[in-house]
Amino acid sequence: MELVSPIIEIVTRLVNWSTKHLNYLRALDTNFEKLEEEMAQLNEHKSDLNNKVIPEEARLKKRTNQVDGCREWKPKKIRWLNSYLKGDNFFRIDASVVVILRTAGVVTS
């Protein structure tokens, strides 16, 4: 009995850990689709802002903080994504997702 209880505890912890990570992998497609939708919305918003900013700059108006913030945001997020994909968390992302991101030009490596 003394030998059985530690083995049962180890098996229980292993099952809990693997279930957690399998659920993450199952949700990967859904999460990626949501990410693509959000990225499309952000790109549309960026395009709308650029369509407003370019004519205003032609009239010598100054950029707003929101526009300048968007310019700083994109490189930071891409650097974070690149470091995330190169780091220890790489095993969490399916190889096909990396290929899609590289094809889209989001990830460079």
Q: Quote the domain boundaries for residue 35.
A: 4-104
Distance CA 89, CA 62 (A): 41
Residue 62 domain flag: yes
Average pLDDT taken over every residue of the chain: 71
Residue 19 domain flag: yes
The pLDDT tens digits for 43-69 are 888 888 888 877 877 777 666 666 566
Residue 109 domain flag: no
Task: Say if pTM beats, i.e. exceeds, 0.85.
Answer: no
Task: Tell me the C-alpha to C-alpha distance, in Å, between residue 100 and each of 54, 72, 83, 96.
Answer: 31, 24, 17, 6
If one counts the domains in the chain, the total is: 1
Structure tokens at 7: 């083995």
Place 88 in a pLDDT band, splitting at 50, 70 and 90.
Answer: very low
Residue 84 domain flag: yes
Nearest to 108 by CA among 87, 81, 90: 81
Distance CA 82, CA 86 (A): 6
Contact 67/53 with Cβ under 8 angstroms?
Answer: yes
Model pLDDT, residue 34 = 87
Close Cβ partners of 106 (under 8 Å, ≥ 6 residues apart): 78, 81
